[in-house]
Amino acid sequence: MIVVERVETATEDARARLRALVVRYVLTSTALLLVGGALGGVLRQSQADLVVVSPALWYELMTAHGLATFVGWAAFCLMGLSFWVLQECGFEVRGWGYRWAVISWWTMVIGVTGVVITVLAQHFAGSWVFLYPLPFSSTGQWTELTTALFSLSVIFVGLSIFAYCFGVLAVVTGPDLGAAPGAGFANRLGCALGLGYLRPRRFSTERPLPFAAIPLTVIAIDMIIATLPLAVLLLLMIVQAIQPSVTVDPLLAKSMLWWFGHPVVYLLLFPAVALYYHLVPRLAGRDLVAGHVIAVAWSIAVVANVIIGAHHMYTDFPENFQQSVNTFSQPLTYAVTIPSAISLFSLAFTMYRSAYDWSQPAARFLAVALVSWLIAGLQGVGLATIQFDAVAHNTLWIVGHFHNMALIHIGMVIFGAIYAFLPALTGRDWYSRRLADWHLVLTVVGGYGSVVPWMWQGLEGAPRRFAVLPGEYLSASQIAMPFVLLIVVGQGVFVWNLARTLGLGWLVAAVGPRPAEDEPERPGEALAALVAACGTALALPALWHSPFLWAPLGLLLGYVAVALGARRQGAWSMLSATLLLVVGLALQL
Amino acid sequence: MVVFNLIYVGLCAIGLVIFAVIFRSTRASQRERPLDIAGWKRRENVWFAVVCVALAGALAATIVKTPWNAAAQADRQVIDVVAAQYGFTFSDATIEAGRQVEFRLTANDVNHAFAIYDPDGTFVTQAQMMPGWPSSLRVTLDEPGTYAVRCFEYCGVGHHQMVTTFEVVP
Ligand SMILES: [Cu+2]
Ligand SMILES: [Cu+2]
């Protein structure tokens, strides 16, 4: 009896820790959305000729915007939510699964801090794809040391992705999979890929595999394969910054970049699909309507996803061997749309004539997201077509397409999941459902209103990544501005709703002193308080020089102090670093 | 391009109608009839086949229309174009209308790209320019006038200034 109770408390503790970690993922990534989104707004209004920023600053902000929103917000948030989905569908996230999730959080935060410092304080403006050899040919904008630090920061982001993959694989191949006793890793991996739906004897599990586990397993496998060459390229870039005689062939570097650059898009899409597979059936009160063909579709995806990066190079070497590569890339890219098509079918029929609970904010967000998936996904099929890409490549049409996909499809899934999960994660009900509706309407109307002008401009031949667009595109840029404002207001509504939901009490509990009866004070907390003091000290120079260098370091140390146990001191340190950043910026202006 | 846009808008319209039907089917009155979920699952196989056939059809219709595969004509004009941060250098900036021109593209420092716009400002074609990997782009420009060239690969903080023109004469 006592033993059982202890096991239960241990499990409860583990769950509480996971809940706290997932909330941390959600809040950090939401903060990065606000920062990255604000940068995007600055970029767009400058192109619309309102408050024009210098081209050098514009390209810096562009670099930071891409990394902050794509990686720091969408990917980061989905990584955290992935673990919660697994937890909710019967895979306890504990042991190494949990440890990898913690490591993934820390390495991402360190990486993003490094990116912020190298971009905003040291003026790195190589764009978020940092197409080699541009980082070493800055025309005086940044130094090789900056390139080395930037590369190191992106390596941390890469480490975070690895940790995520290891964590997901540890969980899905763990004891909760229910594989046959003594089954080897390969067999358990096959089970987690859903192969049991095709060959039930060979890949048998005690319970049917939850469908949500399949896309997560697929992306965990693919991102390990995809990230390795990029990590090598980044290491070589650090070496070159120190020893300039070491260089990389630009074609090899570009191939390594896109080998990673395509699958990383699916680091957003596939976890979003897992969220759909998990939440739509729950809202519809019915299991996912999926035949065995869904396992076929995902088997295609796990292979095709990592070999189609070349479709980002359709316009390379027009008369040369690239054309044969291209000819293979188009059908393979078409193939990777099959899981999306099958998923849309399954999700549509899961909803069809069900008691879909529209009263939930998550239900509305996911319904809108499904429509956006179709709209943006069809664009993707067009773009996979060489004939169309030849015209659309590197125009603003592309920018419209991926904002359609990332913001008004995947973003809606992320928000939907946050609306669905937060009550279970924090034990608090949402402050207001009406505000959630406003968040939805403002983001969708603002989103499409800002995406459509981009696509229009792109079809007219407007190039992307131009700080100053040729004059003929100005009016469309200006038409988009009111819609951009709607997106901004929408996120403001979301943050307000989130803050009121969590409330001051939650904040105090999160950063306040530990309840004394629980644990005695640990010697580590004195050290942590010291770290917090160092954080404040590090942030002080922000008043005189490079606020974006010193304040983020102060913030990071402040958070380290919180994590080490000096929660109150750490929180003060983070607060002072933020204030010093604002004051430092104001003094410089 | 027009065909692509029409197909796209058409498919989106069909999709919106289907979603409208699905969303409306969640009303209570629609749930009274018996559900055939096993049948829907079977139909997913049909859908899989439909998607594969549609993709194969789209592939067959478009892969042959890949641009850039113009065979070199014997009487073509050859123009060397060198890209460097932040400008293009042409060996000759005057081109004859209606005669094939072969742009030999090289980049000196970082990746750039070569995008051509006709005298009306309509996009014509583009190709990447990669340091150490020269390539060529063959195209026939029929309409005389001033053509604009823009850099189409982000190449640093002067990227948007990397624009130039050339003349096509009758
Ligand atoms: Cu791709
Ligand atoms: Cu350029």
Cα Rg, chain A, nearest whole Å: 24
Contacts A138 to B, Cβ<8 Å: 156-157
Q: Alpha-carbon distance A38 to B133, whole Å?
A: 39
Identify residue A47 by its one-letter amino acid code.
Q
pLDDT in tens, chain B (170 residues): 788 999 999 999 999 999 999 999 999 888 888 889 999 999 999 999 999 999 999 999 998 888 777 888 999 999 999 999 999 999 988 899 999 999 999 999 999 999 999 999 999 999 999 999 998 899 999 999 999 999 999 999 999 999 999 999 99
Is B22 in contact with A351 (Cβ distance < 8 A)? yes
Look up tokens 């004939």; give the residue.
A387
Residue A1 pLDDT: 46
Exposed/middle/buried for A16, CB within 10 Å: 0-12, 13-18, 19+? exposed
A&B contacts, CB < 8 Å: 228
Per DSSP, A99 falls in state H
- Cα B156 versus chain centre, distance: 23
Q: Alpha-carbon distance B103 to B105, whole Å?
A: 6
Exposed/middle/buried for A181, CB within 10 Å: 0-12, 13-18, 19+? exposed
CA torsion angle A144 A56 A581 A571 (round to 10): -60
Identify residue A495 by its one-letter amino acid code.
V
DSSP SS3 for B89:
strand
**H-only helix segments in A48-94:** 55-66, 76-88
Name the nearest CA neighbour of B159 among A228, A470, A482, A448.
Answer: A470
For residues A534-561, give the mean pLDDT: 88
Q: Alpha-carbon distance A130 to A292, whole Å?
A: 41
Identify residue A332 by its one-letter amino acid code.
L
**H-only helix segments in A460-566:** 474-511, 524-539, 547-564
Q: What angle do CA A491, A495, A500 make, to 5 degrees?
A: 150
**C-alpha of residue B84 to centroid of ligand 2, in Å:** 9
Per DSSP, A137 falls in state -
Contacts A459 to B, Cβ<8 Å: 1, 5
Give the closest of A354, A393, A394 to B26, CB-based. Answer: A354
Residue A434: C-alpha distances to residues A152, A367, A368 (Å): 44, 17, 16
Residue B166 pLDDT: 95
Q: Alpha-carbon distance B76 to B136, whole Å?
A: 12
When scoring B14, B17, B40 by the number of chain A Cβ atoms within 10 A, the one with the most, hence best to mutate, is B40
Ligand number, closest to the Cα atom of A257: 1
DSSP SS3 for A467:
coil
Q: Are A205 and A176 in contact (CB under 8 A)?
A: no
For residues A2-9, give the mean pLDDT: 64
pLDDT top residue among A506 and A187: A187
Q: Give the count of alpha carbons within 13 A of B82, CB side only.
A: 7
pLDDT top residue among B102 and A562: B102
Q: Give the count of alpha carbons within 13 A of A52, CB side only.
A: 10
pLDDT at A423 over 90: yes
Separation in Å, CA of B133 to nearest CA in chain A: 8
Quote the crossing angle between the two packed helices A474-511 and A2-47, to the nearest 10°: 150
Q: Are A547 and A566 in contact (CB under 8 A)?
A: no
From chain A residues 62-91, the ones with a CB under 8 A of any chain B CB are none
Dihedrals phi, psi of B142, to nearest 5 degrees: -90, -35
When scoring B130, B137, B138, B155 by the number of chain A Cβ atoms within 10 A, the one with the most, hence best to mutate, is B130
Q: Name the closest residue on chain B to residue A58, using Cα atoms.
A: B157
Interacting residues of A239 by C-beta distance below 8 A, sequence separation 6+ = A246
Q: Alpha-carbon distance A579 to A570, whole Å?
A: 14
**C-alpha of residue A400 to centroid of ligand 2, in Å:** 20
Residue A473 pLDDT: 95
Interface residue B36 vs chain A (CB under 8 A):
no
CATH class as words, domain B77-169: mainly beta
Separation in Å, CA of B127 to nearest CA in chain A: 5
From chain B residues 97-126, the ones with a CB under 8 A of any chain A CB are 109-111, 113, 115, 117, 121-123, 125-126
pLDDT per residue over A55-110, tens digit each? 999 999 999 999 999 999 999 999 999 999 999 999 999 999 999 999 999 999 99
Cα dihedral sign, A313-A137-B85-A247: negative
Residue A393 pLDDT: 95
For residues A32-50, give the mean pLDDT: 96
Q: What angle do CA A205, A209, A213 make, to 5 degrees?
A: 130
Is A250 in contact with B132 (Cβ distance < 8 A)? yes
Interface residue A249 vs chain B (CB under 8 A):
yes
pLDDT at A474 over 70: yes
Name the nearest CA neighbour of B108 among B127, B90, B129, B80.
Answer: B129
Contacts B126 to A, Cβ<8 Å: 315, 390, 393-394
Six-digit token string for A47: 């192109």
pLDDT at A322 over 90: no
Contacts B48 to A, Cβ<8 Å: 293, 296-297, 338, 341-342
